[in-house]
Structure 1
Amino acid sequence: MIAASGTFGYGIEFEEIVSLDRIGGFVTKGLSREPMAGNPTPRIIETAAGMMNAIGLQNMGVLAFIAEKLPRLRQIKGLVIIANVFGFTIEACVEVIQLLNDAPDIAMYELNASCPNTSHGGMVFGTDPPQLWELVARCKAAARRPLMVKLSPNVTDIGLMARVAADGGADAVSLVNTFVSLAIDVETRRPRIANITGGLSGPAIKPIAVRMVHEVSKNVTIPIVGMGGVVQAEDAVEFMMAGATAVQVGTASYADPRAVENIANGLKRWCIAHEVLQARLAHRFGSALTICSGLCWLRIVE
């Protein structure tokens, strides 16, 4: 099991709560070229079977992460670090990757394709095939580590977008990111989030996310990391049955900081109870995919 970006901080915030060496890995908060303060509050609310957020990609910036957070993370034996990368131009994404290339002990990059391209009218990279291809191709050319592309679910054909990412050179894809949504306070007659819209996550989106993972599995041969509403081991099993190689846990960590570890342990028990082989995945990524340690190969949906 992998702790998803934005829900697990920079990892070290959880080290006194979670046995970080016992989870498959974690994805950092999104890292940008410069520090970002994010959106005004309120920017996170609870919804039926989930939550909405419009944090605005708040982060300390890639250089501060390398100097202040990474040294401590490197001391945790067995911890797999995946750096989430974003930018509002292709050049900004490439620059973040180039800076991380010289940072030690990062296993791979997760490229957030859900950002608007400010140099091309604000079109979201992950909703426009030509822009997505160019983003992935240029980031892959700059990266000295495997590149996983986190796809936006706010598209009509997720299989197409996955193929575009793979054609651009992606080593893996992760999905789904949050769904654009809106909640209104009927007493104040105003949006409940200052940004007006936010990203919906949590159990409410799981059936849609599982369907999208299944569609992507029919369109690409590269590894798929599924996410969206995972709160128990059986949820992770669903994603793997749909075609995922590994699974990320996000919103559940807000309700239970040990959710990733607990779900990982539950998955092991499920595999034993159902006589499913557990294995350390060996793939062309080599050690980078120790993130999949302990996960079982399941392909039931055809």
Structure 2
Amino acid sequence: MNLSVELAPRCKRGLFLANPVMAASGTFGYGLEMAKELDIQRLGAIVCKGTTLRRRRGNPQPRMVETAAGMLNSIGLQNMGVEALIRDVAPIWATWRVPVVVNIAGESVEEYARLARRLNGVPGVGGLELNISCPNVATGLEFGSSPQMAATVTAAVKWETTLPVIVKLTPNVSDIVGVAQAAAEAGADALTLINTFPAMAVYQTAAAVDVPIIGCGGIMTGLDAMEYIMAGATAVQVGTATFVNPRATLDVLEGIERYMEEEGVGDICQLVGAARV
């Protein structure tokens, strides 16, 4: 059974995953904490929590509240800052088999570019994920709120790094396909799409761009993951489920393996976009 996927075929460095299950940013810390609880080397990749140029304390407590249908959160991008990450965490990542993608966030295009420049070539860093849900201090608008802004920040980051660049889109737009196309044309190697609002985001975007799609949002089981993959996602990210069950990423992986075995599928790539008509 072959579960391996390639997330950055347009990038010379590439981003090869042993399987399509990724730990989503903000729910898995830096991976160090979870490494004490489960075999993280079995995962396809880990996306670390959002990283900024300088250390951020985040918002005051309470930051999270469980609801009947999910979770509300207002973390405020609490993180150690890029210099501490490079000094204290990246050397540990460099000893792991599982690739680690650093989620980066900025208040200006220049901040994103500086983060990309600083992380380029750092051992242990396998790629970058741009959190373009952040507001631009110059305009007050999210970087992902328009195709032009998404393209500008994507191009600026690509100019500064040889690492694979994944752009994580915001669902808070009227035309997510247009933003996705702009980011892809500006050089994004892959796109992370929340599929909660609207429900067809992954399906529609996969048909409109020629870069891999990473599905994210509400994945609790292997069957949930298979729905994303069959809609066109090359890989999936497991986020909120980790708060409920720290082993959720591995449960999802094992669910995918069971599905493939039961259906007699030998290669995960056979299922990507299988629901398209």
> Does TM, scored on the shorter chain, surpass 0.5?
yes
Match for residue 285 of structure 1? Answer: none
Report the counterpart of residue 124 of structure 2 in structure 1. 105
Which letter does structure 2 place at the counterpart of 1:133? A
| C-alpha contact 1:210 1:226 (8 A) present in aligned 2 | no
| Aligned counterpart, 2:187 | 169
Distance 2:187 2:179 in 1: 13
SS at match of 2:36: coil
Alpha-carbon separation, structure 2, partners of 1:14 and 1:252? 14
Contact 2:147-2:180 within 8 A present in 1 as well: no
Secondary structure in 2 matching 1:28: strand
* Distance in structure 2 (CA, Å) of the matches to 1:225 and 1:160: 17
Deviations 1:104-149 (A, max 9, x none): 1322110111000002x21111002211111111111111111010
The amino acid of 2:149's aligned partner reads Q
Q: Is contact 2:241–2:248 with CA below 8 Å preserved after alignment?
A: yes
Report the equivalent of 2:256. 267
Cα offset, 1:102, TM superposition: 3.1
When structure 1 is superposed on structure 2, of 269-278 and 231-240 the one drifting more is: 269-278
SS in 2 for 1:12: coil
Report the count of equivalent residues: 257
Task: State the alpha-carbon separation in 1 of the partners of residues 196 and 167 from structure 2.
Answer: 21
Aligned to 2:3: none
2:271 and 2:84 map into 1 onto residues whose CA distance is 37
TM-score (norm 2): 0.89
Give 1:197's aligned residue. none
**2:213–2:232 CA contact under 8 A, matched in 1:** yes
Q: Does 1:117 align with 2:136?
A: yes
Aligned to 1:297: 272
Give the 3 Å change call, closer, same or farther, for CA 28–160 of structure 1 in structure 2.
Answer: same
Distance 2:59 2:244 in 1: 22
1:181 match: none
Residues 209 and 81 of structure 1, relative CA distance in 2, 3 Å threshold:
farther
Deviation >3 Å, runs of 4+: 206-210, 295-298
What runs of 5+ residues in structure 2 fail to find an aligned partner? 1-20
1:208 Cα deviation after fit = 4.0
| Structure 2 residue 163 is the aligned partner of structure 1 residue 137 | no
Q: 1:212-259 CA deviation, whole Å, 9 max, x = no partner?
A: 111111210100000100000000000011110000000000011111
Question: In structure 1, which of residues 11, 15, 26 is the aligned counterpart of residue 35 of structure 2?
Answer: 15
User: Given the superposition, is the C-alpha separation of residues 298 and 268 from structure 1 closer, same or farther in structure 2, using an over 3 Å criterion?
Assistant: farther
- Give the percent of matched residue pairs that are identical in Structure 1 and Structure 2: 40
CA RMSD of aligned residues (A): 1.5
SS in 2 for 1:40: coil
Instruction: Give the TM-score normalised by structure 1.
Output: 0.82
Residue 167 of structure 2 corresponds to 149
Contact kept, 8 Å, 1:209 with 1:228, in 2: the verdict is no
* Runs of at least 5 residues in structure 1 that lack an aligned partner in the other structure: 177-205, 282-294
Which residue pairs with 1:218 in the alignment?
207
Q: Give 1:2's aligned residue.
A: 22
Q: Give the 3 Å change call, closer, same or farther, for CA 207–150 of structure 1 in structure 2.
A: closer
Paired letter, 2:99: V
Alignment partners' CA distance in 1, 2:272 and 2:170: 25
Q: How far apart in 1 are the matches of 2:50 and 2:252?
A: 23
Determine whether 1:75 maps to 2:64: no
| Aligned counterpart, 2:265 | 276
